[in-house]
Amino acid sequence: MSYSSDPTDASSTVELGEERDDDSTTEQSILLAVSELFYPVYQKFFNKQDRYVRNLEKRLTKANINRPVEIYVSGALAIGTFVGAILGLVLGGMMYFLLNQGGAVLPVAPNSVIPFSQTAWMDALIAIGSALKAGIAIVIAGGSGALFGLFGAIGVASFYPSLRIYSRRREINLVMPDVIAFMYSLSVGGMDQLEIFEAVADSRDTYGEAAVEFQRVTQEMKYFNTDYQTAVQSVANGTPSEDLSKFLVDMLSIINSGGDMSAFLENQKEYYMQEVRRKQRNHLDTLEFFGEMYMSLSILPMVLLIILIIMALLGNPYPRLLMLTVYGLLPLLNLLFGFIIAIAKQDTVGNGTLDTSDSVVSEVSQEGSITDLGVVDTYANAEETATIFNDLRSLELRHKIGGVIRNPWGFFTKNPLTTLWFTVPIAGLTVAFLIAADVASINPTTIKNQAFMQTLYLFYVPVFMTALPVAAFYEWQRRKIGVITDTLTEDLRKLANTNETGQPLLEAIRITGEDNPSLLGREFRNIYKRVKFGTSLSPVLVEFNNRYKIPRLARTVKLVQKAQEASSHITDVLQTAAEVSENQDELLRERVSRTRVQVVIIAVTFLVFLGVMLILQEFFVQRMVKVIGGSESSQAALGDFDSVDPAFLKMLYFHAAVIQGICAGYISGYMQTGKLHSGVKYMLAYMLVAVLIWGGVMALL
């Protein structure tokens, strides 16, 4: 796609797939004005034919930063100059302050070197030399900061498109199988190639950056009068995804040769489904390797603690190293492991919400936060309707708050994290009450001597009070999602079979929903009733989807929504949707089955860690201190054991077990689902196991 090289062309600064609002327009105007100021600097040091500029222009295109390279580089120079000026002034000012406060002393020539140094004119020369040295030091410090800021900003600006390219490539590759299945379904439903491209281009809410690439095709044809083949070839050359590029090139060859497009798309669909299975197997194999790696990482803190304890028993205690191991190294290793999993994990594209911009009904009923009032906010902010709609806004806000009060369970199920607004203050007040009642204490000595009980009061109580509701409502939300997806494939097949008998889509929805006890069957009945009462089918489908916000369901609803706009007989489309859904069911079952093994490995590793901590505390340190401490010959041979504090060590062991349980819980959930919320239940379970086993052993011994 070609771009204007005129830096005053503001129309080229709006990215594809993004709406132009007042804030973005203001930002683009400011950027354009600043870039114009530094455009002569760009012309002075850069040229359109420079290799750096040409490579950057290509990367801007692939990164979907639709801004002429001249504006981009000029803006980077402007930002670099501003940052450099600030950094230079800061460093220069710091150097000036240090010199005047005596914090830094510049070398001066000793009096013995300069003859007659006591004379007035010689003293003046020395003072001038010192001032020059101070000035040079300030200039060097300020200049270094300015250069660092300038070149740092240019470096960041040069590297940023690569990050965007990587992110877009990953998202496009993840969603490619669904895009091709979508195109195949519309093809067998009777749409031609141009209509299919437009349908994908209008589905950014479902297919993300892949839809943006198809927008390039449609916009080149619409605004640049480019023919279909040339537009597709241009996007194939400029897309960051090799998979999409290969697919578009192969599709062009089918078009130019007059081949069967539906057959081509069907073959591509099958190929990419197999690729998804292969990639998931590789991903799960990687997770299995990570499970083995986690066991090795967990051994390192245990070994280090054992070594430090032995050194302490030999009379060389290292309390800071012990604390650093427990409170620093242990969580850091788990954080590093979580970061490794995050790099390798498979993302889910989209948030499951479909665009409601074309549907007033859906916008009014769109689920969101309490203060998100949908269409009422739109008209309340307009000058001509502000008076009337401000009153309606107050009524709508009171209605939503009343709905939360009447049905808090439903609200918290949709928004589990909002429970923290209530549980965090309650937990804080509870801890404050325990401290005021002299049950809990924040005194370090008390915490050390009563580590078990004080950890319960100060840590366990607030954590369980805040995290338990989040875990409960999140798991209930997952259960509701599972109720929908568990029967999705079966209900889609029923819908396709009913539509195949000649029934229109709406009647097929009614028949499929009748005598269907599933949640999806009930939703089908509600959809039929809403349409019969006068609402169009398309906004009702969108509203139904946005109540659950499941990416998988959103892709299915988008497919049905686009297909029914062309015809009410979409049997082939529904059968394809059922096939894709069945494939996703198989992938999910395989993922759950194999990641369950990794969760068990992490649980066993945690139990081993807990057991080692208990053995160190109850059967090693205390017994060794008693035995060796009671033997005069052992004391003489091994040193002074007064420095070994059993209470301090006991606190560290217990805290190490708790920290390991928290980290292991989050890693278990993250490895299984790719979401941190899933780890809350495991974290609470491991913390509970740690306190029960530790307390039980203490009671027995």
Q: What is the pLDDT of residues 455-484, one digit of tens each?
A: 999 999 999 999 999 999 998 888 888 888
Residue 164: partners with Cβ closer than 8 Å, 6 or more residues away: 63, 64, 65
Distance between CA atoms of residues 435 and 442, nearest Å: 8
Residue 464: the pLDDT is 94
Q: Reduced to 3 states, what is the DSSP secondary structure of residue 341? A: helix
Give CA angle at 648 (647, 650), nearest 5°.
65
Range of the domain at 39: 10-169
Q: Where does the pLDDT of residue 623 fall: very low under 50, low under 70, confident under 90, or very high at 90 and above? A: low
Residue 622: the pLDDT is 63
Is it the case that residue 14 has pLDDT exceeding 70?
no
Domain count for the chain: 1
679 in a structural domain:
no
Across 103-117, 181-195, 435-449, the highest mean pLDDT is recorded for 435-449
348 in a structural domain:
no
Residue 8: the pLDDT is 39
Place of tokens 């292969």: 278
Place of tokens 């974290």: 683
102 in a structural domain:
yes
Residue 130: the pLDDT is 65
Is it the case that residue 639 has pLDDT exceeding 50?
no
Distance between CA atoms of residues 68 and 14, nearest Å: 11
DSSP-assigned states of every residue in 201-220: HT-HHHHTHHHHHHHHHHHH
Is it the case that residue 257 has pLDDT exceeding 70?
yes
29 in a structural domain:
yes
Lowest mean pLDDT among 45-59, 164-178, 328-342, 402-416: 402-416
Contact 67, 12 (CB under 8 A): yes
pLDDT digits (tens, 9 = 90+) for 346-361: 667 767 788 765 444 4
Residue 356: the pLDDT is 67
Q: Where does the pLDDT of residue 125 fall: very low under 50, low under 70, confident under 90, or very high at 90 and above? A: low
pLDDT digits (tens, 9 = 90+) for 559-579: 888 888 777 678 888 888 888
Mean pLDDT score, 623-652: 59
- Distances in Å between the Cα of 356 and the Cα atoms of 369, 376, 380, 527 are 16, 14, 19, 17
93 in a structural domain:
yes
Give the chain's mean pLDDT: 79
Place of tokens 């930063």: 65
Contact 302, 612 (CB under 8 A): yes
pLDDT digits (tens, 9 = 90+) for 318-333: 778 888 888 998 999 8
Lowest mean pLDDT among 108-117, 330-339, 446-455: 108-117
Distance between CA atoms of residues 17 and 551, nearest Å: 19
Residue 665: the pLDDT is 92
Contact 492, 478 (CB under 8 A): no
End-to-end CA distance of the chain: 76
For residue 106, which amino acid is it? L
568 in a structural domain:
no
In percent, the amount of the chain with pLDDT more than 70 equals 79
Could you tell me which residue, 427 or 99, shows the higher pLDDT? 427
376 in a structural domain:
no
120 in a structural domain:
yes
Q: Please, which contacts does 304-311 make with residues 24 or more away whose CB atoms are closer than 8 Å?
A: 304/329, 305/616, 305/652, 305/653, 305/656, 306/616, 309/616, 309/620, 309/621, 309/649
Distance between CA atoms of residues 119 and 113, nearest Å: 14
Is it the case that residue 248 has pLDDT exceeding 60?
yes
- Distances in Å between the Cα of 597 and the Cα atoms of 173, 290, 604, 668 are 28, 12, 11, 10
Distance between CA atoms of residues 649 and 319, nearest Å: 9
Distance between CA atoms of residues 615 and 682, nearest Å: 24
Place of tokens 């788990």: 334
Distance between CA atoms of residues 23 and 35, nearest Å: 18
Is it the case that residue 244 has pLDDT exceeding 60?
yes
Tokens of 135: 């000035």
Distance between CA atoms of residues 509 and 21, nearest Å: 39
Residue 11: partners with Cβ closer than 8 Å, 6 or more residues away: none
pLDDT digits (tens, 9 = 90+) for 181-197: 888 888 887 788 888 88
Mean pLDDT score, 651-680: 88
Residue 590: the pLDDT is 86
